[in-house]
Amino acid sequence: MKLFRINICFHVMLVAVFAVMVSGSMKCHAQINTDQVMNIGRNALYFEDYILSIQYFNQVIKAKPYLADPYFYRAIAKLELEDYKGAEEDCSMAIERNPFIVDAYQVRGIARQTLKDYNGAIADYEAGLQQMPQHRVFLMNKAVSECEIGEYGKADSTYTRLLSIYPGYANGYLGRAQLRMEQHDTVAAMADIDKSISISKNIPGAYVMRAEINMDYNKDFKAALADMDEAIKLEPHFSGYFINRAFMKYNLDDYFGAMADYDYALQLDPTSMAAHFNRGLLRTEVGDNNKAIYDFSYVLRSDPGNMAARYNRALLYSETGQYRDAIADFDAVLETYPDFDAVLFARSECKRKMGDMAGGEQDYNRARELSRENKERQKENENDETLAQGDDGKQAEETRKESPEAVMNKFNTLLTVENDNEIKPKYENRTRGRIQDFNYHIDLEPMFFLSYYDRSDNVVENTYYIKEVTDLNSLRLLPFMLLLTNSQFRLYEDQIEAHFRSIEYYNGLLATSSARSIDYFARAMDFMMVKNPAGAIDDFTRAIELSPDFSLAYMGRSYARYMQMQIDETGDETGAGSTDVHSVGNITPGKQALPGGNVGGLPTLGERKASVAMQQIIEDLDRVIKLSPRNVYAMFNKGNIYMRMQDLTAAISCYTEAINIKPDFGEAYYNRGLVYLRLGNKDKGIEDLSKAGELGILPSYNVLKRMTN
């Protein structure tokens, strides 16, 4: 039985470039500065605001349809929005205009691969390899596509080439292991999986694949269980892992453990049909009939045609004396499986107990006749060796799969689920996009910023309060209600249009009326919403010049400068900024990374720009704290910037000061815990992470599992 299907994961980042300010109206396409609009579109793409970025690229395409780049970048946005056909078409347009955009072949190949056009994808990867013969992603995706169309020999050659160039590429070995599994060479597959895990212990798919082999082929449920434990440590929010681990525990006679896993899987995904069905079977086995009926009824409400759930519920209705309901369910099963003798025997018993002796006798006689016929048919099938050959054999095999014995086995077998939280192949480019995120797995809780929108997905509902925000909202001077958040929010088209209209309004107001700081602040907020940090910085600065004690303007400018710094860093292809304030990497206690990418030499231009920007951010945050000493979010942000500057002691001081003022500040506990781990203080790190988890910061538990393993 195949429990899992593992696809290879390609971790990728988005494209970003230097940002510039867009000023004035953008209504008239013929008059827009396409370079500026293009850069703003790429800013939005960098910050993963795909709908907004598409609108910008549409403007450039309308003004200059002969350019290749806007089609290419729009294709990336469409790919991220899972519009694969649209991404393919845009890449084709880009390639028509400039056949030397290597990345366009990559994006189109991924789109085609996702659409199952594997031959087209292979052609694109080969075109890319002509220009970049050692490109890792082209080689990897090409091998996966070749495997998908059954070209195992070619796939093997491609993997051999890939691993000869990148012998430390863990996903390469995992991909070849999948190829070996397709070839039924489990020994070679196991060797590749072991090699992948020896290189990187942080790929859950590797443990899942090894668990599959240990269970399906070796019947070693203990080893399979150990691997599933490791996968769950790395990916604790995927309900399917708990369902499959419960199956392993069941086979090891750990019924309580299996039940606990089903319960937890349903906490993660209350709509999981497999978890409800399996828990129903397990509850039946331990005699908890009424709760088992509840689980099967839940399945049937969503999937009335699930005959396995209906059959098992019918048996439970019969067991609990609900004969009329049992007969209704048996009737439904017999409509699909009219020769299912076990159902007729069971319905016969129900009819007898209800006093329908004639009906019961009729069902009983028919069931005995079918049972005899089924046994004779089974013996004939076993003696007919031609069933295993040719199309007729295939048809007979399908018939046998629906025999009463096979149906009974299917109706009483625990289900397993596929790994449906796979990361699909995505665009990867190491000289553009969020290069600072590569090979980083543990992220800091991000900085807080002013916004008009929030995405609340925490277990514990948090309200981030600043008195100044409440006071400003009460004056009704802004076009939208201001709030504080640390969650990025992608705007819908009508929201984007509303902010552009607001910018137009303030353009006119500031051109014809006496300037007020609140008007510059409001336009700055609109610029932030449409991912134009350069424009926001200028307007926040004007607001501060008019009102030097405007603390929210300093806070807004600090985050706008941070956004601009991220974009500027990523545009530096020398590698400056290879550690990000949002990423602290694989934590190795006692070891610290050097700031920037120019180890042992003079700082690069990008590093100098980042250093100046961070100092400006610190100055803004210090001004906020001076004006509002209890603003814990400014202190928290300051700690994140110190982390980016590798001043870990100063970062701890900032987080501690924030916690002293706000003892339930889970994000500060979490980040301080990560800093303690970086400094080698495991005890304090674990203590802080435990507190953060208690306060609803879910990633804490993932880190705790790694550190306490």
**Beta bridge partner(s), residue 583:** 443
**pLDDT attached to residue 137:** 93
In a domain, residue 79? The reply is yes
Distances (CA, A) of 99 to 103, 111, 431, 619: 10, 18, 19, 47
**Among 49, 81, 98, where does a domain finish?**
98
In a domain, residue 400? The reply is yes
In a domain, residue 263? The reply is no
**Comparison of pLDDT for 17 and 433, the residue scoring more:** 433
- Gap between the Cα atoms of 268 and 416, Å rounded: 16
Residues 6+ apart with CB under 8 A from 70: 38, 41, 57, 60, 61, 64
User: Hey, is 89 helix, strand or coil?
Assistant: helix
Whether pLDDT at 339 is above 90: no
Structure tokens at 382: 């076993």
Mean pLDDT value across the chain:
82
67 phi, psi to nearest 5 deg: -80, 145
- Residue 697: which pLDDT band, with cuts at 50, 70 and 90? confident
135-156 confidence digits (pLDDT tens): 999 999 999 999 999 999 999 9
507-528 confidence digits (pLDDT tens): 999 998 888 999 999 999 999 9
Are 365 and 333 members of one domain?
A: yes
Are 567 and 670 members of one domain?
A: yes
- Gap between the Cα atoms of 536 and 43, Å rounded: 13
- Residue 585: which pLDDT band, with cuts at 50, 70 and 90? very low
677 in Cβ contact with 667 (< 8 Å): no
Q: Minimal CA–CA distance to 538: which of 566, 506, 570? A: 506
Q: Is 288 exposed, middle or buried (0-12, 13-18, 19+ CB in 10 A)?
A: middle
- Gap between the Cα atoms of 100 and 128, Å rounded: 9
Measured in residues, the chain has a length of 709
Are 455 and 560 members of one domain?
A: yes
Task: Give mean pLDDT, residues 578-603.
Answer: 38
**Beta bridge partner(s), residue 443:** 583
Task: Give mean pLDDT, residues 218-235.
Answer: 93
Distances (CA, A) of 33 to 40, 63, 225: 11, 9, 59
Label residue 390 left, alpha or beta by phi (over 0 means left) and psi (-120 to 50 means alpha). Answer: left
Eight-class DSSP state of 14: -
Structure tokens at 267: 């906490």
203 phi, psi to nearest 5 deg: -110, 105
**pLDDT attached to residue 406:** 58
In a domain, residue 135? The reply is no
**pLDDT attached to residue 167:** 95
Distances (CA, A) of 379 to 149, 368, 409, 576: 38, 17, 18, 73
In a domain, residue 116? The reply is no
**pLDDT attached to residue 150:** 94
Whether pLDDT at 581 is above 80: no
Distances (CA, A) of 351 to 323, 344, 345: 8, 10, 10
Cα-atom radius of gyration of the chain, to the nearest Å?
31
- Residue 265: which pLDDT band, with cuts at 50, 70 and 90? very high
- Residue 687: which pLDDT band, with cuts at 50, 70 and 90? confident
Are 517 and 631 members of one domain?
A: yes
**Among 77, 98, 119, where does a domain finish?**
98
Distances (CA, A) of 144 to 156, 167, 189, 633: 10, 18, 15, 46
Are 305 and 344 members of one domain?
A: yes
- Residue 7: which pLDDT band, with cuts at 50, 70 and 90? very low
Are 630 and 490 members of one domain?
A: yes
- Gap between the Cα atoms of 586 and 199, Å rounded: 14
**Beta bridge partner(s), residue 451:** 483
Check the CA dihedral 67-70-73-78 and report its sign.
negative
Residues 6+ apart with CB under 8 A from 237: 268, 698
**Comparison of pLDDT for 2 and 580, the residue scoring more:** 2
Are 663 and 590 members of one domain?
A: yes
DSSP symbols for 619-658: HHHHHHHHH-TT-HHHHHHHHHHHHHTT-HHHHHHHHHHH
Number of continuous H segments (helices) and E segments (strands) in the chain: 33, 2
276-307 confidence digits (pLDDT tens): 999 999 999 999 999 999 999 999 998 999 99
What range does the domain containing 604 cover?
442-707
In a domain, residue 111? The reply is no
427 in Cβ contact with 79 (< 8 Å): yes
Whether pLDDT at 425 is above 60: no
- Gap between the Cα atoms of 554 and 543, Å rounded: 9
Are 368 and 403 members of one domain?
A: yes
In a domain, residue 115? The reply is no
Are 447 and 499 members of one domain?
A: yes
**pLDDT attached to residue 26:** 37
Three-state SS for 134-202 is: CCHHHHHHHHHHHHHCCCHHHHHHHHHHHHHHCCCCHHHHHHHHHHHHHCCCHHHHHHHHHHHHHHCCC
Count of the separate structural domains present in the chain: 3
Are 343 and 472 members of one domain?
A: no
Task: Give mean pLDDT, residues 180-200.
Answer: 94
Predicted TM-score of the model (pTM): 0.61
354-372 confidence digits (pLDDT tens): 999 999 999 999 999 988 8
The amino acid that residue 605 corresponds to is: L
Are 484 and 621 members of one domain?
A: yes
**CATH code for the domain of 304:** 1.25.40.10
Residue 648: how many other CB atoms lie within 10 Å: 18
Distances (CA, A) of 232 to 2, 238, 243, 422, 690: 19, 8, 11, 14, 18
**pLDDT attached to residue 706:** 66
Which residue is it, tokens 């694949």?
A: 209
15 phi, psi to nearest 5 deg: -90, 140
Whether pLDDT at 427 is above 60: no
| HSE-up of residue 571 (Cα within 13 Å, Cβ side) | 17
- Residue 10: which pLDDT band, with cuts at 50, 70 and 90? very low
**pLDDT attached to residue 571:** 56
**Comparison of pLDDT for 257 and 17, the residue scoring more:** 257
Residues 6+ apart with CB under 8 A from 591: 678
In a domain, residue 559? The reply is yes
Are 400 and 467 members of one domain?
A: no
Q: Minimal CA–CA distance to 318: which of 364, 351, 296, 291? A: 351
Q: Is 28 exposed, middle or buried (0-12, 13-18, 19+ CB in 10 A)?
A: exposed
Percent of the chain with pLDDT over 90: 60
Residue 346: how many other CB atoms lie within 10 Å: 22
Structure tokens at 342: 């076990």
**pLDDT attached to residue 19:** 30
31-62 confidence digits (pLDDT tens): 568 888 898 888 888 888 888 888 889 889 99
SS3 content of the chain, % helix, strand, coil (to 5): 65, 0, 30
**Among 82, 98, 114, where does a domain finish?**
98
**Comparison of pLDDT for 401 and 107, the residue scoring more:** 107
